[in-house]
Amino acid sequence: MIAAHQSRVALARKDALPDFDVSLQFAQRTGFSDMLSATVSIPIPLQKGRKQDQAVVEAEAELAAEVAGHHASVNQLRARVAELVSDLERDRAQLALYAKAVLPQARAALEAATTGFQVGRTPFQTLVERQATLFNYETEYVRALTDFATSLAALEETVGQEVLR
């Protein structure tokens, strides 16, 4: 679109220049000799300031608007990509936290509660609470994994190509 508007500006500027026209005509006449005539015409834009200059100004304004729209779109796209990358990084950090700290600790707590219950030192309610806590953390982990996949898909859709392999 920008290239089209640049062409329109160039065309509007050329429209103010005189347009030379040269023509030759040949006619056969019965009873007379053949006739050859030549014509040269140069239209002069008498109202250049009112018509052609205004057309140039209009074309330049349309070009400036198109360039500004392009820059706005680029800035909007960059902001969207930055937002999606930030979301993806946040989701990745949360997944790492669950995988390396939260889930192993919850599993260890459940194992300790199971061992304590088997020897009679831990009440059944504590065992059930530790199991429920582990299930909740596993559910949150799967939700975080889903959020990560959603953010990744949105980023790939915005960028238009695969981001992670």
Distance CA 125, CA 145 (A): 30
Average model confidence (pLDDT) across the chain: 89
pLDDT of residue 48: 66
Does pTM surpass 0.85?
A: no
8 Å CB contact between 70 and 2: yes
Q: If the chain, 165 residues long, is cut into consecutive pieces of 10 residues, what is the mean pLDDT of each piece?
A: 88 77 86 87 73 82 92 94 94 95 96 94 94 96 94 92 81
> 32: which residues sit within 8 A by CB, 6+ positions away?
none
8 Å CB contact between 163 and 152: yes
